[in-house]
Amino acid sequence: MMCVHCATPVDAVYVEYSPGNIRLSVCAKCEHTADEYVECEMMIVLIDLVLQKSKAYRHIFFNYPLLHKLSMREFVWKASLLVLLLDSCMFYYFEMAFIYSFCFVQCHMKLVVAKVALVDNFFLLTVLVVSHILLKRVAYSKTVWTDIRMALVLSSYFKLFVFAMMVWEFSPLMAFIIDMLVLSSNTVAIKVMLNTSMPIAATATAAGALVRIIMGALLKLLI
């Protein structure tokens, strides 16, 4: 676990004296409460995530899974499938719906999902490589790959607005706004996960976004 304010490792974020009677731990470095979200409702955490507060991301990434004994790896892969589905839906509604019939898309949906998955993985790989180059301390390992995937997937919650876009008619501009919000959230998540500066996290995310745009353009030509 770690302090959500300064990212200093702590032994525990609270001490339980009796059932329901706890005392929040204080960080020895910054002297703030290590994790005040322990006593907060999940809605408060979600609001701070939307406001893109780094301490809320630290709570979700590092402390929450340990406090609730969650298997984050299994959850992240399920969330990855949801993000892939939402990206595929957005690709159809704002790219293919004006070019091909719905029957055509139904027949080639597996191809669409596969190519969108390829684009998303190129984005992830680019963020990983650029982070490695800029930080010069992030090793290529399964753990780092999983951590960055978790950061990117869990910080892509703005894509849930795609469900609303499938019910109500929205301008294509809305897709651009959602992408900008997701990239902004991805930047904060990478900053927290790698414990780095905002410029480095923004550079890695921007590089990934650029590669995704290029791959997306190629994807349009191939379908």
Question: Would the pLDDT of 9 be above 50?
Answer: yes
Tokens of 198: 């905002």
Q: What is the structure's pLDDT at 99?
A: 47
- At residue 165 the predicted structure's pLDDT band, cuts being 50, 70 and 90, is confident
Residues 131 and 96 in one domain: yes
- Answer yes or no: is 32 within a domain: yes
Domain count, the chain: 2
One domain for residues 156 and 208: yes
Distance CA 75, CA 200 (A): 27
Domain end, chosen from 68, 83, 114, is at 68
pLDDT at res. 175:
79
Residue 39, judged by CB atoms within 10 A of its CB (0-12, 13-18, 19+), counts as exposed
What is the per-residue pLDDT across 55-110, written as a single tens digit (0 to 9) for each? 999 999 999 888 888 877 778 888 888 888 888 777 766 655 444 455 555 566 77
What residues make up the domain containing 196? 72-222
The 10 Å Cβ neighbour count of residue 110 is: 8
143 pLDDT higher than 70: no
* CA geometry: angle 153, 181, 9, nearest 5 deg: 50
Domain annotation covers residue 7 = no
Distance CA 94, CA 87 (A): 11
Coil vs helix vs strand at 63: helix
Helices marked H in the chain — which ranges? 42-50, 54-58, 64-68, 72-91, 102-107, 109-135, 142-154, 161-167, 172-194, 198-222
In this model, does residue 146 exceed pLDDT 50? yes
Q: Quick check: 128 pLDDT over 50?
A: yes
What are residue 18's DSSP bridge partners? 21
Q: How many CB atoms lie within 10 A of CB 4?
A: 30
Q: Is the pLDDT of residue 20 over 80?
A: no
Across 160-173, average pLDDT = 76
Reply yes or no on whether the pLDDT at 138 is more than 70: no
- Cβ-contact 49, 160 below 8 angstroms: no
Higher pLDDT, 17 or 157: 157
Whether the pLDDT of residue 14 is over 90: the answer is no
The DSSP secondary-structure symbol of 62 reads I
Residue 45 has pLDDT above 70, yes or no: yes
